[in-house]
Amino acid sequence: MSDLLLGIADPAVGVVLAGCGSVLCVRRPRSLIGPLMLAAAGCWFLGSIWIVAVFLHRGPLVHLHISYPTGRMRRPLAIVSVICAYAVSIVEAIGDNPWVTLAMAVLVAVAAADIYARTSGPARKAGGPALGAALTFAAVLALSSANQLLVWENDRLVLLLYDLAICVVALVLSADLLWGRWTEATVADFVTQVGARPDLGALTGALQRALGDPSVALGYWLPDQHCYVDDAGQSFELPLDDSSRIVIRVEEHGEPVAVLIKDGAVQQDERLLADITAALRLALGNARLRAQVRANITELGIARRRLVEAADGQRRQLESELDGGPQRRLSEMSRILENVDAKVEGGLRERLTPMLAELATAQAELRNLAHGIRPPALESGGLAAALPLLVRQTEPDPVDLTVPEGRLPPAVEGAVYFVCAEALTNIAKHANATRASVAITVDHGAVVARIVDNGCGGADRNGSGLRGLADRVQALGGWLSVGDRDEGGTELMARIPLEEAS
């Protein structure tokens, strides 16, 4: 009796797999489950007439269970499980090993559970049949392994259960794919792909896979130009009235958002198309919001750089006005008083001498003020001219200086100069250092300023001077860091990209 049932069940499995696979290839051409069932059926019939290929069907079956309902895999564990299943099924000697069979059953169950656990919403609902099918197949594999390992000697019963499980799984998955949650699963897969790569360029590829139409094209509406463009920003021409191409317009609040063009010959699933269009509308809205945020951030950065450049321009103007106005008048007054001093004697000269001293002090203070606003050497010769003058006027002595020749963008030169000036001022006031170094380098499209001393450390990172410098550097797209060195002292580093500040 058992032999008769096995004789009927064995070809029935191949027929069920072939029948279900053929129907799915016609009704669900976008899913790879149909071709996988046909592959499993072919391997099943081949194993019936050639004993070496008796386990060959397990590769496509594991692939089918792990990748249902789309037939595509993205989880690393799922990919490893399917590769191992194909490798084991090819070699009959290994496939007949009960321990290898048990290991494969555990791997299939774990991979299916991993996929199910990492999904949510419609994808999890659609993944329920896949999880049940994978666990059923893993269970019969484990039962077959236990029959050999525990010497139950129930080979015919185990084979009947194995055949029955494959038939039931094939029928259940086919019914679910035809009348179940195929649409929800496809839409969830589309949303997952778009979420992984939110740029507009990924949408066309995701749409082609979801709709099973490699000719799908997507155009984006530009309100300012009143036209559609493709991913590359080129003009997107709508096809003429032609039954071979279907034009689907995507709108939001009555305004055009995008246009979808697909092959009219590809079988349409109206519900799937409607859900994909709704998901596309949402994806485009999110993409536009992200693009707007990026544009706002870029515009904010540009505005901050403009403020820095405007402040530098005002400093240059103020320095020029001081030099050409008050400083020139003080110099003229000093010359007049010196001429008077040379011609008078006695008490009048005694009165002029303190006035000349006060006038010289005022000139020096005004000169220092003008130089602090923006030194003339920085304006005329750049960092290579201004920094040597700066280090000679500060403590400690000596200060090692490394500065490249050539000019940089004015905003960068100003920022680097004032970073060095503030750092050297802090070293002189607070660090009790005996040595310091200033190194300015240009590295990979950015200028780097590194100021190091051997003092007591403990620099106040929240001090008003350093905080203002950090804002200035960040406005140019760079960063500033201050920290204590392991060997003692403080290190201040600023990095400013030249492209951002040019």
Number of structural domains the chain divides into = 4
458-475 pLDDT, tens digit per residue, is 777 667 667 777 877 887
Of the candidates 146, 180, 214, which is a domain's last residue? Answer: 180
**196 pLDDT exceeds 60?**
no
Query: Looking at the structure, do residues 454 and 493 belong to the same domain, yes or no?
Result: yes
Burial 45-72 (b: 16+ CB within 10 A, else e): bebeeeeebbbbbbbbbbbbbbbbbbbe
Task: Among 16-30, 140-154, 178-192, name the one with the lowest average pLDDT.
Answer: 178-192
341-383 pLDDT, tens digit per residue, is 555 555 555 666 666 666 666 555 555 554 455 577 777 888 8
Element (H, E) at 261: strand 255-263
Residue 208 vs residue 261, higher pLDDT: 261
Which range, 8-12, 146-150, 357-361, 466-470, is most confident?
Answer: 146-150
308 lies in a domain?
Answer: no
How would you class 329 by CB atoms within 10 Å of its CB: exposed for 0-12, middle for 13-18, buried for 19 or more? exposed
3-state secondary structure at position 452: strand
| CATH code for the domain in which residue 416 is found | 3.30.565.10
Query: Looking at the structure, do residues 385 and 369 belong to the same domain, yes or no?
Result: no
Query: Looking at the structure, do residues 160 and 209 belong to the same domain, yes or no?
Result: no
Could you tell me which residues come within 8 angstroms of residue 180 by beta carbon, excluding any fewer than 6 positions away? 126, 129
Could you tell me which residues come within 8 angstroms of residue 257 by beta carbon, excluding any fewer than 6 positions away? 220, 221, 250, 251, 281, 284, 285
Q: Maximum distance among all alpha carbons in the chain?
A: 145
Of the candidates 316, 350, 373, which is a domain's last residue? Answer: 373
Query: Looking at the structure, do residues 58 and 96 belong to the same domain, yes or no?
Result: yes
349 lies in a domain?
Answer: yes
Residue whose C-alpha is closest to residue 283's, from 370, 410, 191? 191
106 lies in a domain?
Answer: yes
316 lies in a domain?
Answer: no
Give the model's confidence band at 120: pLDDT under 50 very low, under 70 low, under 90 confident, else very high: low
Q: What is the chain's length? A: 502
For all residues of the chain together, what is the average pLDDT?
75
Q: Could you give phi then psi for residue 408, rounded to 5 degrees?
A: -120, 170
Looking only at the bridges linking them, the beta strands covering 245-252 and 217-222 are unpaired
Query: Looking at the structure, do residues 47 and 146 belong to the same domain, yes or no?
Result: yes
Residue whose C-alpha is closest to residue 260's, from 280, 286, 233? 280
**Cβ–Cβ contacts within 10 Å for residue 133, how many?**
24
Structural domain boundaries, residue 361: 326-373
Of the candidates 309, 340, 373, which is a domain's last residue? Answer: 373
Per-position DSSP letters for 10-32, written without gaps between them: HHHHHHHHHHHHHHHHHH-TT-S
Query: Looking at the structure, do residues 174 and 210 belong to the same domain, yes or no?
Result: no
Residue 129 has a pLDDT of 79
Give the model's confidence band at 258: pLDDT under 50 very low, under 70 low, under 90 confident, else very high: confident
313 lies in a domain?
Answer: no
**What span, in angstroms and rounded, lies between the C-alpha atoms of 259 and 177?**
29
67 lies in a domain?
Answer: yes
Give the model's confidence band at 308: pLDDT under 50 very low, under 70 low, under 90 confident, else very high: low
Burial 344-381 (b: 16+ CB within 10 A, else e): eeeeeeeebeeeeeebeeebeebeeebbebbbbbbbee
Query: Looking at the structure, do residues 173 and 25 belong to the same domain, yes or no?
Result: yes
Query: Looking at the structure, do residues 387 and 368 belong to the same domain, yes or no?
Result: no
Query: Looking at the structure, do residues 357 and 440 belong to the same domain, yes or no?
Result: no
Query: Looking at the structure, do residues 20 and 57 belong to the same domain, yes or no?
Result: yes
367 lies in a domain?
Answer: yes
Beta sheet of 227-229, edge-to-edge order = 227-229, 217-222, 255-263, 245-252
